[in-house]
Amino acid sequence: MPYNIEYHKDFIKFLKKHQDIQAKVFESFETIAQNPYEAKLDIKKLQGKANHYCLRISKYRFLYEVLENEILIYAYKADSRGDIYK
């Protein structure tokens, strides 16, 4: 059963400014929703946080959390490589 995807309002706001990657990001999250642990994308687990991951596309990073008990992928932050972890 695929996970549901929920996007934070700031995440959507970022994508509206960067329409060149918008389709790729949504497509990637659809892939992640099918199986969040075996997606064949450039994904790294964040250290120090349980179930938090970073999707890397080009020079941008997209942070999300896998909520097992709710069967939900929550995408909460998007920014450029240099600014995402601040």
Residue pair 79/59 in contact by the 8 Å Cβ criterion:
no
* Residues contacting 6, CB < 8 A, separation 6+: 72, 73, 74, 75
| 3-state secondary structure (DSSP) of residue 59 | coil
What pLDDT score does 82 carry? 86
Residue 69 banded pLDDT, cuts 50, 70, 90: very high
pLDDT digits (tens, 9 = 90+) for 5-58: 999 999 999 999 999 999 999 999 999 999 998 878 999 999 999 999 999 999
pTM across the whole model: 0.92
Closest by Cα among 78, 54, 83 to 66: 54
